[in-house]
Structure 1
Amino acid sequence: MNFKKQSKNQYTLLCSGPMSKNCIDASLNISKELNIPQVLIASRRQIDSAEFGGGYVAQFDTETFSRYVKDQNVTNVFLARDHGGPWQSEVEQKSNLNLSESMASAKRSFEADIDAGFDFIHIDPSIPIQNEDLTFNKILERLFELYEHCYNYAQKTKKNIQFELGTEEQNGYAQNLDEFECFLNETEKFCKKNSIIKPTFVVAQTGTKVMETRNVGVFDNGDYKAQLHCIQHIKDSIQICNRYGIWLKEHNTDYLSNEALSLRPSLGVHASNVAPEFGVVETRGLLYLMEKFGFEDELNTFSQVALDSNKWNKWMLPETQATDLDKVSICGHYVFSDPQIIEIQQKLTFALRKYNIDLNAFLINLVKQSMMRYVQLFNMKPVSRGANNVFNCDRKALG
């Protein structure tokens, strides 16, 4: 797959969060219908190994999620761990695990990913453990320990695994290029010293950050000078990545304008993550149907369960003016697997049949429409799962 600049075949790879079973099915359908690659990026909160309780998506654990996707027999769908690492699991945080315990927990979670046949894993040790002062050197030390462990485990179990590395959460601004190059240089030295394959992706700051239902980063905020500065930083970051033969991946691409998204392929951004937007789209569709067809009690119950979950809290801006309905839209997908919500969905599914409405098909189509905006603006093309596929490419084609 060739990402060379100014190529009419250049595209950016869409990596979608599996916010629900319908989001998973929407991504599978797009890949099958268009014969294009789709990457499902599961965070540990969404889907984790059975040992850690699985996660909030469709009562899947790592193994059952992998089996479900693979049973659909869609050739170009890839499984990815997103934000794997210590304290990325709510179980670790609620148990207040120390460094040693949380690193061991993260390793077991990664091993489950590898056993389940994931295609690549994102190693992200950027969360401070027990309110520690987490320095860049500590992050690198933990990252390389996890990197070596996962690579050796994959070799031992004869699994093919590719890596994505990240050292910080998206902050909405452009990154420090000297620090970014230092990170890649240290990574290259580590890989050479330990005979480990280079990562496929490195996460970069591209001026994006999702809060509430908008992108509050500098890339698309209307500040023309800040946007130009950010664009130049992305170009410089990609040039650095190209020197090291690694692809640049951005997170928090949700809610960007069509103009901002269409720039991704021409700038040379290799892959972009989109997740919460798809959960919001599905939740709004479900709320619309409950209101449209008079399911007032069910709508009130759904709203209360969502609000009581407090999952909306992490997405709120300091000066938020979000209504309760806004909060429900933002966090509704977190509670789809709650027994009360499952019962509501079952009741709604049965009741809507007399109107010739298939609830899941309706919601899947809504999510697909949202995904297709990215597919089209990212200029995505069919790619085979052969020797030069998305994760096993000729690195000379970069840059």
Structure 2
Amino acid sequence: MSIVHCVRTYRLPDRPNLIWLELETTDGLVGLGETFRGASSVETCLHDELAPWLLGRDTRHIEGISRHLLTPYVGYNSSGVEVRAASAVDLALWDLAGQRQGVPIYQALGGGARANVPVYNTCAGYAFNTNGKRRDIGVADRSDGPYDDQVAFMRDAGALARSLLSEGYKAMKIWPFDIYAPASNGHLITLQDLEKGLEPFRLIREAVGNKIEVMCELHSLFGSHSALRICQALEQYDVFWVEDPLCKMDDAAGLADLRRRTRVQICGSETLGGLRPFRDLLAADALDVVMLDLAWCGGFTEGRKIAALAQAYNRPLAPHDCTGPVTLMAGLHMALHAPTAIYQEVVRATLATWYRDIVTELPVITDGMAQPPVMAGLGTRLQDGFKQQPGLVVRESR
């Protein structure tokens, strides 16, 4: 038997968007989970709502637990607090499943579809979206270090592309249009702003030609008119995809219309929770690339069903991570297992710095390829030093 006898969470004051979860079981194992955004609210949900039901449950019955936690009465079909909490639990349950079997999660899911996974570098900085603040930047922003790629892609995207290629990365993602959305709530982009937003793509192609793939992130900031104008303007630079172009990424009709009117590939969406939104988008022929975040969509249990949908519709899959180290490890397992997976997202700034302070193991990247984790379960644990940090908020339910 593998019964939950302790639900424990960790929060750091300087990373208020992140929360880590440990599930301790009666057979001496500890499963690790994580989720992102509204960490204090997720903590309350985990301990006040989920823990009373979880304690005493057999962790081997993952599907049944998932179905209960993704109840149709609260948080269903979205990536709200309840679904994020349920996602963290599901990651921990699959970590436990892999440990019990003595294999990495991707093997517990049924094995790998590939030997390793290509990665792309999301050109964020060292604390992108994890300190509770959004960083909208311009050309003059101060760089916080050699890997502050969010500043670099606005200053000299060509030099950034050369730097990434020198480290073996063969794909990168940037978002130079974000700063032009607030003036009109994303519903108007002028020709002048359009040209400024296109400049990094021009510099990348001038610097390295077609040696690197470039993705454009729009962060769900734009309405249909401005999104279409951006997408059509990007066609000349042969971008790999445009990600989350519309304000509401569950808008199947709007995305399908956009997709019909541009040659760029449409990718979405890390923001969606549960199976149903992906079913609706794929049925409407609204996506070229399926992106999911396992810490938001319901964990591995829901994620592998989304991956099966992507396979059924012959669409590539790309797990998200611009959030935390456990989500990254989980995404890598899914990318190894899912038949149509093509990329795993990474951020070299966080890989080189604070991710290493949180967990014991991170993906090994060789020549732009993430290698399979070798330890059982997720293949990583919280660092002892992390658990001893001053100010760490620890809460337990037993």
Greater helix share, 1 or 2?
1
Greater strand share, 1 or 2?
2
- The TM-score with structure 1 as length reference comes to 0.38
